[in-house]
Structure 1
C-alpha cells in the first residue's frame, strides 16, 4: 500500500534521512523503531507532506505522492497522528472529533464513526463535553487517534503513541490499535520508542539509525536479534 524508495530529507544543511526505503503491505501493522534522533518522526512527516523530500520516491496505493501538499495527502485517506498528540486544547472532545471529519460529507457516517470511537475509547464518551487540554496525556492520545479515525483513513501513521503516558493506559491504547487494524482493516505504520510493544503488535519492522535503515525483518525475528535486544529491548 505504501512504498518508499531511497528517501532523502534535509533540514537546511543537516541531512536527516539518508536513502530510507520501506514497504507497508495493505492491512498490516509495520513498525519503525530506533533511538531518539534516528529520523523516525522525520520519515512520517515526509510521508504526510509536512516536510519536503530532497530526493527519492513515495508511492501510496500505486500513486506517486512525493511532496504533495499535506491536505491533498489527507484527502487520499492517509492520516498522521503526530508525536505530542496535538489536540485542540480549547475545544471539547466532541469538537476535536468533528475537526477530524472536516473532509467528510456523509453525516450518517460521521455519527456512526463517532459512536465507534466512543465504543473504542469509552473514556472519551464520558468526557465528550470536556475541554481536551484539561485531560490526561493518555486521554489526549485516545482523542488524537479517534480524531484521525473520523477522517475515514485507509492508512494510519502513529508517531510515538506511548510517549508520556501511564503504563496501564499504554497497554490499553496498544490493544485498541490492534483492534482498529482488525475491525476497520486499517493499514498502520507505527513509530515507537517502546520497541518491545511495537514489535509485539506488528508483523514486520524496520530499525532506523541516524537516518538509515540498519535492519529489517519479521517482527519476531527482530525481537530475537541480539543486536536489537541489546540496543532497544534492554536485554
Structure 2
C-alpha cells in the first residue's frame, strides 16, 4: 500500500535520512522504532508532505506522492496523528473532530463516523463540548487519533501516541489502535519510542538508527532478537 525507496531528507546542510526503504502492506500494523533523533518523525513528515525529500520515491497505492502538498496527500487517504497531538486548543472536542473531516467531499456518513469515534473513545463523547486544551494528555491523544479517523483514511500514521501519557491510558490507547486495525481493517504505520509496546501490537517492524534502517523483520522476531532486546527492550 505504501512503499518508500532510497529516501533522503535534509534539514539545511544536515542529513536526517540516508536512503531508507520500507513497505507497508494493506491491513497491517507496521512499526518504526528507534531512539530519539533516529529519523522516525522525519520519515512520517516526508510521507505526509510536511518535509520535501531531497531524493527518493514515496508511492501510495502505486501513485507517486513525494513532493505533493500535505492537503493533497490527506485527500488521497493518508492521515497523520502528529507527535505532541497538536489539537486545536480553543476549539471544542466536536469542532476538532469536524476539522478532521474538512477535506471530505460530502457529509454522508459523517454522523456514523462520528459515532464510531465516540464509541471507540467514550471519553470524547463525555467531553464533546469541552475545549480541547482543557483535556488531559491521554484524552488529547484520543482526540488526535479521532480527528485523523474523521478524514476517512486508508492509511493512518501515528507519531509517538504514548508520549507524555499516564501508563494506564497508554495501555488503553494501544488497545484501541489494535481495535481500529481489526474492526476497520485500517492500515497503520506506527512510530513509537516504546519499542516493547509497538512490537506487541504490530505485525512487522523496522529499526531506525541515525537515519538508516538497520534491521527489519516480523514484530515477533524483532522482540526475540538479542540486539533489539539489548538496545530497545531492556535486555
Is 1:166 aligned to 2:166, yes or no? yes
1:129-181 Cα deviation digits (max 9, x unpaired):
00000010000000000000100000000000000000000000001001111
Q: Output the aligned Cα RMSD.
A: 0.6
CA contact (8 A) 1:104 1:110 kept: no
CA contact (8 A) 1:19 1:56 kept: yes
CA–CA separation in structure 1 for the residues paired with 2:186 and 2:154: 5
CA contact (8 A) 1:121 1:142 kept: yes
Give the match for residue 64 of structure 2: 64
Is 1:175 aligned to 2:158, yes or no? no
Give the match for residue 32 of structure 1: 32
Q: Where does the alignment leave 5 or more consecutive residues of structure 1 unmatched?
A: none
CA–CA separation in structure 1 for the residues paired with 2:211 and 2:106: 41
CA–CA separation in structure 2 for the residues paired with 1:185 and 1:61: 16
What secondary structure does 1:86 align onto?
A: coil
- For residues 125-140 of structure 1, the aligned pairs below 5 Å read 125-140=125-140
CA–CA separation in structure 2 for the residues paired with 1:124 and 1:106: 24
1:78-121 Cα deviation digits (max 9, x unpaired):
00111000000000000000000111243341111000000000
CA–CA separation in structure 1 for the residues paired with 2:203 and 2:184: 17
CA–CA separation in structure 1 for the residues paired with 2:106 and 2:116: 15
Give the match for residue 74 of structure 1: 74
CA–CA separation in structure 1 for the residues paired with 2:67 and 2:17: 15
- For residues 99-178 of structure 1, the aligned pairs below 5 Å read 99-178=99-178
Which moves more between the two structures, 97-106 or 10-19?
A: 97-106
Provide the TM-score with structure 1 as the length reference.
0.99
Q: Where does the alignment leave 5 or more consecutive residues of structure 2 unmatched?
A: none
CA–CA separation in structure 2 for the residues paired with 1:52 and 1:188: 22
Please list every run of at least 4 consecutive aligned residues from structure 1 whose deviation after the TM superposition is greater than 6 angstroms. Answer: none
Q: How many residue pairs were aligned?
A: 235
CA contact (8 A) 1:78 1:154 kept: yes
CA–CA separation in structure 2 for the residues paired with 1:207 and 1:92: 37
CA–CA separation in structure 2 for the residues paired with 1:104 and 1:94: 16
CA–CA separation in structure 1 for the residues paired with 2:183 and 2:106: 21
Q: CA deviation at 1:40?
A: 0.1
